[in-house]
Chain A
Amino acid sequence: MSNDELDPLIRREFEALGMNIVGNDILADLVIDKVRKRRRRFWFVSAATIFAISTIIAIGYLVGTNSHLLFASNSSAGNIILSNSYEQSSGEKNVLSLPQFARINVTQGKESSRHSSFRFHLHRGEVIEVFTQSKSAMGGVIGNLTINYVRSDGTTTTLQKNPIGTNDANNEFGNTSETGLYTFNFDITDPSYEGQLLVGFLIGHFE
């Protein structure tokens, strides 16, 4: 069939599309209203997203830096990684609060990696639960955890000493008769031990 025959047929159908068009007086208002709603939704979603991101950043910042516990490590070997500190929960007495945790890499032949120290500022009546997990120990005792009180002149008094075994262990330290600095020293005495030592500190409070 030639184009001359087809063209009038197609043209007729397109012309017919223009028939019976009833004007819609409120079409412009509908469109404007639709755009307003679309804008409002966009701003709401944007604001909610920004607020959520800001909140997450703020919480992360507060949790990461503003700690009641003054966390410090004396290890100069840089063998402690992934350590964080958290503020003590003030409203919940007798309930352990947010943890401090660290992963200590112990390397054979590197003496500095065998001694790690954590220093906290504790208030009187606070109690610390220390969790240890030696990832690669074969058996027996691999070292000690020594807890010292640090006086203002820098001298220390040993308050507690616990062995670090091959199994998961938790030791409680509640001898906080003085408000001040306390050090938690991990000393790996087993010369054959090499691997990771996971430690965690939880803080509680005596009524």
Chain B
Amino acid sequence: MSGSEEVEFSNWLREHEAELTRAARAICFDIQNAPDVLQEALADVYQRWKKIRNHENLVAYTIRVMISKHADIRRSTDRKRSEKEVSIELVASLLQLTDGSDHITERMLVQAGIASLSAAQRAVLLMYYDYGFSIKEIAHNLALPAGTVASHLARGRSAVAEYIQFSPTRGANVLERIETVRGLDQGQQELSERKILDGQGES
């Protein structure tokens, strides 16, 4: 890599550093992993700098690389946790933690909803809400089908909605609702246990 390319890359990075850091935070939704993911993605970008320096949207390209790097890092450190499910325990502890401030509670519930999404889904939300891109533009930038982008967006909204229902500002009797959800879960569990027992009795 020649010296002029190093300078070119450094200048580009300096110009977009804040934007990329923000994107890394959005994709990871984890302040500890974000710098690692960003550095790994930038290393890949720099390695291919000769080929991609004239890319029409280098930031979007880097975001795509970050999504893939985030998946790699999570796979390698076995940090994958169950996604797309409302964690009632998490909600209960958040409510306990933020007791007395409805505003903070609501924000933490929204964050929990966003954190439950995949990196690609969060990247779609970032581009939609932060960059103000249309679904078509996001699809173009992330090299995804428009249908997938729309689905990611819908999933993002529904995840947040699932968490935000527990917000005190929404007029919810939170403890009652949590107990209801827990009761439903328990009821389902008992029902499946009974089915298993019935099955054993018949056999």
Chain A residues near B (Cβ < 8 Å): 1, 3, 6-7, 9-15, 17-18, 21, 23-24, 27-32, 34-35, 38
Find the residue from A17, A24, A29, A32 having the highest chain B CB count within 10 A. A17
**B interface residues, how many (CB within 8 angstroms):** 33
Which residues of the partner chain A approach B125 to less than 8 Å between Cβ atoms? 10, 14
B46 near A32 (CB under 8 angstroms)? yes
Q: Which residue on B lies nearest to A17, using beta carbons? A: B25
Cα A119 to Cα B46 with chains together (Å): 64
Q: How far is the CB of B58 from chain A (nearest CB, A)?
A: 14
Q: A17 near B46 (CB under 8 angstroms)? A: no
Which residue of the partner chain, among B6, B111, B130, B160, contacts A6 with CB atoms under 8 Å?
B160
Q: From B115, which residue of chain A is reached at the shortest CB distance?
A: A13
Contact of A28 among B10, B22, B111, B130 (CB under 8 A): B10
Closest to A1 in B: B161
Q: Give 28 pairs: A residue, B residue, CB < 8 Å, sorted on A.
A: A1-B164, A1-B170, A9-B106, A9-B160, A10-B110, A10-B114, A10-B160, A11-B129, A12-B110, A13-B107, A13-B111, A13-B114, A14-B126, A17-B26, A18-B22, A21-B21, A21-B22, A27-B13, A27-B39, A27-B42, A28-B6, A28-B14, A30-B39, A31-B13, A31-B39, A31-B43, A32-B1, A32-B46
Q: Which residues of A contact B156 (CB under 8 A)?
A: 10
Contact status B18-A14, CB under 8 Å = no
Asked if residues B111 and A31 are in contact (CB atoms below 8 Å), the reply is: no
Known: A6-B160, A13-B110, A14-B126. A23 touches B9 (CB 8 A): no
Q: Are B17 and A11 in contact (CB under 8 A)?
A: no
B68 within 8 A of A: no
* Bound: A29/B11 CA distance, A: 11
Interface residues of B in 51-85 (CB under 8 A from A): none
Known A-B contacts A18-B130, A38-B47; the reply to A6 vs B164 at CB < 8 A is yes
Nearest A-chain residue to B11, judged by Cβ: A28
In the complex, are the beta carbons of B17 and A27 less than 8 A apart? yes
A167 to B64, CA, bound (A): 71
Which B residues fall within an 8 A CB radius of A? 1, 6, 9-10, 13-14, 17-18, 21-22, 25-26, 39, 42-43, 46-47, 106-107, 110-111, 114, 125-126, 129-130, 156-157, 160-161, 164-165, 170
Q: How many angstroms between the C-alpha atoms of A9 and B169 in the bound complex?
A: 13
Q: How far is A188 from B47 in the complex, measured between Cα atoms in Å?
A: 69
Tell me whether chain A's interface is mostly helix, strand or loop, or mixed: helix
Q: How far is the CB of B133 from chain A (nearest CB, A)?
A: 12
Contact of B157 among A6, A31, A38 (CB under 8 A): A6
B161 contacts across to A, CB distance below 8 A: 1, 6
Cβ-defined contact, A32 with B39, below 8 A = no
- A residues less than 8 Å from B42 (CB atoms): 27, 31
The answer to whether A14 touches B26, judged by C-beta atoms less than 8 angstroms apart, is yes
Whole-angstrom CA separation of A88 from B118 in the bound complex: 66
CA distance A1 to B1 in the complex (A): 53
CB-defined contacts of B157 to chain A, threshold 8 Å = 3, 6-7, 10
B17 and A23 contact, CB distance less than 8 A: yes
**A34 to B39, Cβ gap below 8 A?**
yes
Give complex CA distance A15, B6 in Å: 31
Chain B residues whose C-beta falls within 8 Å of the C-beta of A21 in the assembled complex: 18, 21-22
B111/A32 in contact, CB under 8 A: no
Q: What is the minimal beta-carbon distance from A156 to any residue of chain B, in angstroms?
A: 70
> Are B9 and A32 neighbours in the complex by a CB distance under 8 Å?
yes
B162 to A, closest residue via Cβ: A1
Q: What B residues does A6 contact at CB under 8 A?
A: 157, 160-161, 164
Q: Which residues of B contact A13 (CB under 8 A)?
A: 107, 110-111, 114
Residues of A within 8 A of B114 (CB): 10, 13
